[in-house]
Amino acid sequence: MAAKSLLHSSNPSCFFSSQSNLPNLKRTRLGGAFKTRNLLVKPIKWGSQQSLSFSYKLGRRQQQRGSSRSSVIKCTAEGIERGILIGGGESRETILVGERYKVVALLACVMCLCNADRVVMSVAVVPLAAKFGWSSSFLGIVQSSFLWGYIFSSVIGGALVDKYGGKKVLAWGVALWSLSTLLTPWAATHSTASLLAVRAFFGLAEGVAMPAMSTLTSRWFPSHERASAIGICMGGFHLGNVVGLLLTPIMLSTIGISGPFILFSSLGLLWLSTWTSKVTNDPCNSPFVSKSELRLIQAGKSDSVAKKGNPPSLQHLLSKLPSWTVIIANITNNWGYFVLLSWMPIYFNTVFNVNLKQAAWFSAVPWGTMAVSGYMAGKASDSLIKAGYSLTLVRKIMQSIGFIGPGVSLLCLNYAKSPAVAAVLITIALSLSSFSQAGYLLNIQIAQDFSTALQIQQEH
């Protein structure tokens, strides 16, 4: 229907852009007709059968003459601009990626870096413990020091994102946690207190990543694409474990303890240079997003958000049982996640007596699988919603898989007798755990939709 309405439009500019509309065609007005080089054409009405025949014949004549012509057809249905290049009897199609996909790609990269910076310490702590003679109990203190700051910054970071926007808060977070990563080796050699302080500050800076990512995806993506967007972002997040686990042992053996910390802090500053110039808090303010893509994003917002002008207060949210359900689900999910993230290399090293490089490989496989399964869970969730299934039912199904599956797998881990069997069970647990990304994690964005709608109303 959309294509039919475009064909019957009285304005031909909806079909061809002004800059690329049949270039090199010289037109002169001659007695009620247009002369295009050697081709004499009478004025025709756009939308008629005659106009379609004219377009087809003109295209055929250009191909026969072997000239290089180009035209751009704008497809407003999905907000994608497609360019059809015709030349020398060959035709090819170029797809220009929507701006929202560029935003989610940058978010996936920074989430990858976020987790890679955490994993560096999980691997480097083994040679550090051997060098300074740390006990197992003190190892636990060092590993948990990251969470001292992370606990507070998750709440503070959410408030900062609501006030200043996800772009600015995330940029400051990346700058500060990259600095903390760079200072970690120095702090470890200086004193125990400085190491714990730097790790706590590192957690404080990284705590803003999740609220910023969640808010930006809620603004840049319609509701029926958010599960896929979250799947891509969290896929990058889990992929960071793989990158950190595989690169850190190599850097430790070639450069030394400071090697991986310098590498990942430098990558953070490199990402920051791109982020600050390419992304805005809201697609309405982006100079790069097309009008068709903006209409698609705005049309995909929740109807309830459009009808209500004010977001619910924090007190009102905390008085509701569903809010506490999401909070408890988040606590449960993160408890298992961070235990495995912090202790998996040490688990393989101490329980099965594998060396550090082998432990890193055994630990990397589950996280890599989790990155893929998280994206698949998001696509499956979006497909079920588009097929007409209840949004609530889909979220409950995904969350049930995300909790029951890992629970059963980790119980079976007690009976693993080899590192290969243990790696398989942990891989199954983490892969099924990623279905939670299409469950409770998306429910958080309902409140963010209200906040976004209110801010847009105030700006306009």
Q: What is the pLDDT of residue 181?
A: 93
Q: Where are the beta strands (DSSP E) in 76-209?
A: 80-87, 90-96
Comparing 333 with 14, which gets the higher pLDDT? Answer: 333
Cβ count near 195 (within 10 Å): 23
Of 382, 399, 411, 332, the residue nearest 221 (C-alpha):
382
Per-residue pLDDT at 70 exceeds 90: no
User: What are the pLDDT digits (tens) for 102-127?
Assistant: 899 999 999 999 989 988 888 888 88
Classify 165 in phi/psi space as left (phi over 0), alpha (psi -120 to 50) or beta.
Answer: left
Comparing 380 with 437, which gets the higher pLDDT? Answer: 380
Q: What is the pLDDT of residue 448?
A: 53
Q: Please return the burial class of 168, using the count of CB atoms within 10 Å of its CB with bins 0-12, 13-18 and 19+.
A: middle
Residue type, 89: G
**Mean pLDDT, the chain, as a whole number?**
75
Per-residue pLDDT at 150 exceeds 80: yes
Across the range 127-152, mean pLDDT stands at: 85
Domain ranges of the chain: 98-300, 316-459
Architecture of the domain whose range is 98-300: Up-down Bundle (1.20)
In this structure, what are the phi and psi dihedrals at residue 49, rounded to the nearest 5 degrees?
Answer: -65, -30
Cβ count near 383 (within 10 Å): 14
Per-residue pLDDT at 206 exceeds 50: yes
| Listed range (21-25, 348-352, 452-456) with the worst mean pLDDT | 21-25
Domains 98-300 and 316-459 share a fold: yes
* Residue 439: pLDDT band with limits 50, 70, 90: confident
Residues 6+ apart with CB under 8 A from 432: 373, 401, 402, 404, 405, 406, 409
Q: Taking the alpha carbons of 130, 132, 135, 138 in that order, is the dihedral positive or negative?
A: negative
Residue type, 302: S
Q: What is the pLDDT of residue 128?
A: 87
Global confidence as pTM: 0.64
CA angle 11, 12, 16 (to 5 degrees): 140
Determine what percent of the chain is predicted with pLDDT higher than 90: 20
Identify whether the C-beta of residue 344 lies closer than 8 Å to the C-beta of residue 193. Answer: no
Fold of 316-459: Growth Hormone; Chain: A; (1.20.1250)
